[in-house]
Amino acid sequence: MTSPIFVALSAFAEHDREPLRMLESSGFAFQLHRTGKRITTAELLAHGREAVAIVAGIEPYDADTLGRLPALRCISRCGIGVDSIDLDAARARGIVVLNTPDHPAAAVAELGLTMMLALCRNLPRQIARARQREWTRLEAHLLGSRRLGLVGFGRVGRRLAELLRPFGAEILVADPAITAVPSGVSRVELGRLLRECDIVSIHAARSADWPLVIGREEIAAMKPGAILINLARGGMLDEQALYEALASGRLAGAGLDVYAEEPYHGPLCELENVVLTPHSATLAVETRSAMERECVANVLRFLRGDLPANGRIV
Active site residues per annotation: 233, 262, 279
Q: Which helix (H) or strand (E) holds 275?
A: strand 274-276
The whole-angstrom separation of Cα 106 and Cα 10 is 22
Of 67, 65, 70, 44, give the one whose Cα is nearest residue 56: 44
The whole-angstrom separation of Cα 254 and Cα 10 is 29
Strand extents, DSSP E, 135-260: 147-151, 170-174, 185-187, 199-202, 227-230, 253-256
Q: For 91, what's the count of Cα atoms within 13 Å in the CB-facing half-sphere?
A: 5
Q: How many CB atoms lie within 10 A of CB 55?
A: 26
Q: How many CB atoms lie within 10 A of CB 104?
A: 25
Q: What is the DSSP letter of 70?
A: T
Q: What is the DSSP letter of 206?
A: P
Tell me if residue 115 falls in helix, strand or coil. Answer: helix
The whole-angstrom separation of Cα 188 and Cα 254 is 22
The whole-angstrom separation of Cα 297 and Cα 13 is 14
By the 8 A CB rule, do 168 and 143 touch?
no
Tell me if residue 254 falls in helix, strand or coil. Answer: strand
Q: How far is CA 221 from CA 108, 197, 214, in A?
A: 26, 11, 10
Tell me if residue 230 falls in helix, strand or coil. Answer: strand
- What's the gap between Cα 16 and its chain centre? 22
